Structure 1
Amino acid sequence: MALSLAVSPCPNDTFVFHALVHGLIPGTPEVNLTFADVDVTNTAAERGEFDLVKVSYAALPWLLDDYELLPTGGALGRGCGPLVLAREPGLDLAGKTVAVPGDRTTAYLLFRLWSADRAPERIEVVPFHQIMPGVAEGRFDAGLVIHEARFTYQRYNLTALADLGEWWESDTGLPIPLGAILAKKGTVDPAEATEWIRNSVSMAWANPDASRKFVLANAQEMEPEVVQQHIDLYVNEFTLELGRDGLAAADALLQRAAAAGLTPAVKPFL
């Protein structure tokens, strides 16, 4: 029986899951792959649509009844947080319109925690690829961006008002928990799935050339050097194993969010 998997087409996900998706790991089932941005997978997982799925850590409070967090394959790290961008430095966000990539993304949850005393007038959920052009053209006063935008926003003559990863790390001392891999309860054995994904990560690191064509084909017109920067930043030790720091980061985010009334409370991972 085939396993359904949903991840983003971003280079970190295609790099990590290449071996699993292409049947290169002995003993794994056939995988039916769906590419979708994280704002789509967050809501699809709430409907139970996939066996394995990449979601935002911010969406976990709505998903953990039906899914189990796996300790591998996700996106956490340091120096990789979302950015708040605008056309002019020092913009006061109070009363402004801010474009965000999804209302249950980790980026937006961090933004809400960070901007509690400078709340914008209006939030617009916009497909990720429309945010930077929209800010540059004046359709939005500011935008919240993720992923490869860290390397490309200057092309739009934009400035970074805040690096929410730096803010989070300085405030907590923990890595920033961005994307999580979940396994559907009653459908996927979490221990087996963890082993499959760990093997896929290890194979990607051992032979990066094997996945290059697959990664570039799905990289949404990113240049090869930006693709490599993306992989180097988002595929790290936490991808292989969350570990205590990774779980502590997830706990810190979700406990703070619940205390602020932004998400339902969840049982701590540690």
Structure 2
Amino acid sequence: MKIAFSPCPNDTFVFHALVHGLVAGAPGLDVTFADVDVTNTAALDGHFDIVKVSYAALPWLLDQYELLPCGGALGRGCGPLVVARPGAVVKRVAVPGDRTTAYLLFRLWAKENYEIEVVPFHEIMPGVAAGKWDAGLVIHEARFTYQNYGLVSLADLGEWWEQDTGLPIPLGAILAKPEIAAQATEWIRESVRMAWADPDASRDYVQQHAQEMDSDVQRQHIALYVNEFTDSLGEAGYEAARTLLARAAQAGITPAVRL
């Protein structure tokens, strides 16, 4: 069975038990590591059986996949940031993918038109610091590390979203082929609960794949992005996703979709 998720600490923490054959009844997995800006489009051909994508990409994928109620990344206080050098005049903005939730939020938030360039996530902060772009839209562990590049936060889009809607921010979704969705939900939820029951079990796996190698940052990342919504979206999680995609469709950014 083919699965794709990011090498970020929250995903490797969540999927450790499942990938390593510790979940009873789950099949062996062929794992592809790729950030969501890659899987958002790589999933279009239905190559993967289970795949982590951005909520913003769902309108192009729900004809082939079903949204699972667990395993993803939603929450509060965990949204993308717009970062820049102090005092920079912002005209050019680097973003980590044109179908990411981060960029969708940016488009819903922005009052001006900016020159946008899509670049790999790991290049954004060094590039902004070097003056290649005026600002960058950052996600993942950048929330904890952007100051290390001498950058400042111009906007917290998660904070903006929460104040405007009162809802958690829907970032990363787990999709599965419809014929295995029910089983995949059980496998992934069990993997999440095993990770919480023994957090040290996945430590080496997380460390091996993390782009940010500082162990304290890894722990902060996991604590922020692996939360009650990872175990179960619940009504608040589904309402957050429906609200995001309804606003995007209303703004003409994405096709309309039903969840």
Fold conserved (TM > 0.5)?
A: yes
Task: Please state how far the C-alpha of 1:185 moved relative to its aligned partner.
Answer: 2.9
Report whether the alignment pairs 1:208 with 2:199. yes
Partner of 2:251: 260
Report whether the alignment pairs 1:108 with 2:78. no
Task: Please state how far the C-alpha of 1:221 moved relative to its aligned partner.
Answer: 4.2
Partner of 1:230: 221
Count of residues paired in the alignment:
259
Query: 1:163 & 1:141 partners in 2: Cα distance?
Result: 17
Partner of 1:127: 120
Task: Please state how far the C-alpha of 1:92 moved relative to its aligned partner.
Answer: 5.5
Report whether the alignment pairs 1:250 with 2:241. yes
Query: 1:150 & 1:173 partners in 2: Cα distance?
Result: 21
Partner of 1:159: 152
Task: Please state how far the C-alpha of 1:70 moved relative to its aligned partner.
Answer: 0.2
Partner of 1:71: 69
Query: 1:16 & 1:175 partners in 2: Cα distance?
Result: 19
Query: 1:264 & 1:222 partners in 2: Cα distance?
Result: 38
Residues 212 and 218 of structure 2 are in contact (CA less than 8 Å); yes or no, is this contact kept in structure 1? no
Task: Please state how far the C-alpha of 1:11 moved relative to its aligned partner.
Answer: 0.2
Going from structure 1 to structure 2, the CA distance change for 1:221 and 1:150 (only over 3 Å counts) comes to closer
Residues 89 and 134 of structure 2 are in contact (CA less than 8 Å); yes or no, is this contact kept in structure 1? no
Task: Please state how far the C-alpha of 1:191 moved relative to its aligned partner.
Answer: 1.1
Query: 1:42 & 1:63 partners in 2: Cα distance?
Result: 8
- 1:185-196 paired onto structure 2 within 5 Å: 185-186=178-179, 189-196=180-187
Partner of 1:118: 112
Runs ≥4 residues deviating over 4 A: none
Matched to 1:174, the amino acid is: L
Partner of 2:26: 28
Query: 1:251 & 1:98 partners in 2: Cα distance?
Result: 27
Matched to 2:195, the amino acid is: A
Query: 1:221 & 1:56 partners in 2: Cα distance?
Result: 21
Query: 2:163 & 2:17 partners in 1: Cα distance?
Result: 36
2:138 to 142, 145, 152: 145
Residues 92 and 118 of structure 1 are in contact (CA less than 8 Å); yes or no, is this contact kept in structure 2? no
List gaps (5 residues or longer) in structure 1.
none
List gaps (5 residues or longer) in structure 2.
none
Residues 83 and 146 of structure 1 are in contact (CA less than 8 Å); yes or no, is this contact kept in structure 2? yes
Task: Please state how far the C-alpha of 1:88 moved relative to its aligned partner.
Answer: 2.0
- 1:32-47 paired onto structure 2 within 5 Å: 32-47=30-45
